[in-house]
Copies of this chain bind each other. A is one copy, B any other.
């Protein structure tokens, strides 16, 4: 589900992160009705957050507009989510409940290319919801924490990409999966989110190839040379 889960990147939550979560089993078997209602309200509210964020960005996101759009009483929204940061955090947390898995093509470079392609698609999507969520994380500590949890979840799921490559003999044993994954994906965020370089169809593959070449050369297998001496 590429558009839904851009690898270790931020979730592109447009399709259904909240619905996904909402369709998870209710909290307990004995209280089906309340569980269902709670989940339904969460779905409505998180969908409304995404829609408002896509239309107006963080600056236009208000508790009242979300409540109105979700057709949920505003006191419910305030009681359950507290503030806009709480809403965004829940959108991001809901995204970790999906069943996204990284690509498995049989080649490290191809796996990383597809992963980067998913990230690029998410960062360039219109409306720019993923970019808006990342921007919001600069302004809300709650959203920032949730964004970090989501990235951590995605990078953790992607570690198997590296262990498969080690098992195939593509990479030296002891390759640090997280460092490799960050090296492969960092240029996507840097170029698309900060430098705003024009969209480049070669970017995902180039960043993937760079990380794969460095990995084969042992960049992620050992501690760096002691700094300060030769």
Interface residues of A (CB under 8 A from B): 59, 113, 134-135, 137-139, 144, 147-148, 151, 179, 182-183, 185-187, 189-191, 193-196, 201-202, 205-207, 209-211, 213-214, 216-220, 223-225, 227
Contact = CB atoms under 8 A, between A and B. Distances in A.
Contacts of A202: 223-224, 227
A112 to B, nearest CB: 12
A151 B216 CA distance: 30
Interface SS of chain A? helix
Nearest to A207: B183
A144 B192 CA distance: 13
A138 B194 CA distance: 9
A87 B148 CA distance: 31
Contacts of A191: 182, 186
B196 A148 contact: yes
Contacts of A193: 194
Contacts of A205: 224-225, 227
A202 B185 CA distance: 19
B113 A194 contact: no
A148 B198 CA distance: 12
Given A185-B190, A187-B183, A151 B219 contact: no
A225 B187 CA distance: 18
17 contacts: A137-B194, A138-B138, A148-B196, A151-B195, A182-B191, A182-B195, A183-B187, A185-B190, A186-B190, A189-B194, A190-B190, A206-B224, A209-B225, A210-B220, A213-B214, A213-B218, A214-B219
